[in-house]
Amino acid sequence: MLKTKLSAIAVLASSLFIAQSALAEKADTKFIDDSSYAVGVLMGKNIEGIVESQKEIFTYNQDKIIAGVKDTIKKSGKLTDEDLQKQLKALDNYLVAQETKIQAEKSKETVSAGDKFRAEYAKQSDVKKTESGLLYKIEKAGEGESPKATDTVKVHYKGTLPDGTVFDSSYDRGEPIEFQLNQLIPAWIEAIPMLKKGGKMEIVLPPELGYGDRQAGKIPANSTLKFEIELLDFKN
């Protein structure tokens, strides 16, 4: 991960310095200075990207980064290739461990927030709960037949996190969407057949009826989700 990025920077820097040396005899001082500075900025942007992307788990000593670049350019580096690879591997292992730890802590917070949200939601008098843990309330039953698991359903929907963040909405896009029902998350497979054409409901589901312990787009792992679902039509 990190070693690949740093290696790419090293190759880039090497090729740029070779090209600069070839042109040095023909270039005037200002051009050399401006080009040299531009190379430094380019390298800096690449390094900045690494530092910024890892700021939550590691704080780099920027003076040491600059010293490492200078020593390498002057061919006075203090690390052998073997030592370099060993240090980068150790850093990579540390970053992975820290990221795993942070994600575990975030997951605990997400689970706790979801548990509290579902407990409060379940207190509403018109909310029902299935054996699977799905919470739902039917706002409008609809008319006619209900869809089967193998049917394709046409729905409008809005999905939110416990804090109210909207992570997806066909209403916002201005058009409904069609899904094959048995290809959806477990909560939808269970809930939508409760409706008839034209029906509308609200559901709140625990993580195991949604995306479980994996992140899905804007949805954090182990999230409790809330959906407003309107069944517009369905077909075999």
Question: Catalytic residue numbers?
Answer: 157, 167-168, 185, 211, 227
174: left (phi over 0), alpha (psi -120 to 50) or beta: left
Which has the closest alpha carbon to 144: 47, 233, 53, 216?
233
Q: Give 145's DSSP letter.
A: P
How many Cα neighbours within 13 Å face the side chain of 201? 25
CB atoms within 10 A of CB 15: 10
Structure tokens at 105: 């802590």
